[in-house]
């Protein structure tokens, strides 16, 4: 087993600090950008992530990185962000955070399913598929994707 990558070392450094403020570290991406690098730290929580939280966490992450040698000497730009709607749903917490959202997921047996997440937990996910509840274990589902909805039926009902 080789030495951990720089991204893994950064994740090990940041996870305890983020967990202390109720955030999950979703991704660490380090990419070259000319003479600098861009370090993107993606965070999320069950309650979502607002701009104030991102600002506070950015300062803490920056201080922590500056006090360690994990980034080396080459300059970098730090970006702390929340996952976008195009993030694949791969972990139970991703599905849980998508309750009420329309999703499409590949099935382990082949094909795909589209439905609204009505329940999600550590064991599996229940989708409303054409008005019928269908429950899947996480092993039965591949990656899911939230579908962008510009207008939901519930929105129409509320306007009447």
pLDDT classification of 3: cutoffs 50, 70, 90: low
pTM: 0.71
pLDDT classification of 159: cutoffs 50, 70, 90: very low
Phi then psi dihedrals of residue 114, to 5 deg: -125, 130
pLDDT for res 130: 93
Task: Write the DSSP assignment of 72-87 as a string of letters.
Answer: -SS-EEEEEE---TTS
For residues 105-129, average pLDDT: 93
Of 62, 49, 73, nearest to 17 by C-alpha is 62
Q: Give residue-wise pLDDT tens across range 120-143.
A: 989 999 999 999 999 999 999 999
Q: Residue 21: pLDDT above 80?
A: yes
Same topology, domains 6-81 and 92-159? Answer is no
Per-domain residue ranges for the chain?
6-81, 92-159
Contact 26, 83 (CB under 8 A): yes
| Class of 92-159 in CATH | mainly beta
| Class of 6-81 in CATH | alpha beta
């Amino acid at each position: 087993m080789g030495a951990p990558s720089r991204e893994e070392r950064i994740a090990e450094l940041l996870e305890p600090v983020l967990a202390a403020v109720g955030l999950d570290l979703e991704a660490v991406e380090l990419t070259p950008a000319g003479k600098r690098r861009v370090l993107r730290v993606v965070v999320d929580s069950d309650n979502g992530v607002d701009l104030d939280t991102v600002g506070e966490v950015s300062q803490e992450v920056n201080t922590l990185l500056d006090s360690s040698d994990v980034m080396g000497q080459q300059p970098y730009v730090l970006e702390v962000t929340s996952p976008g709607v195009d993030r694949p749903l791969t972990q139970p917490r991703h599905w849980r955070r998508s309750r009420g959202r329309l999703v499409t997921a590949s099935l382990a047996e082949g094909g795909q399913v589209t439905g609204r997440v009505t329940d999600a937990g550590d064991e599996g996910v229940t989708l409303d598929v054409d008005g019928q509840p269908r429950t899947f274990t996480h092993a039965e589902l591949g990656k899911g994707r939230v579908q962008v909805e510009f207008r939901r039926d519930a929105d129409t009902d509320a306007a009447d």
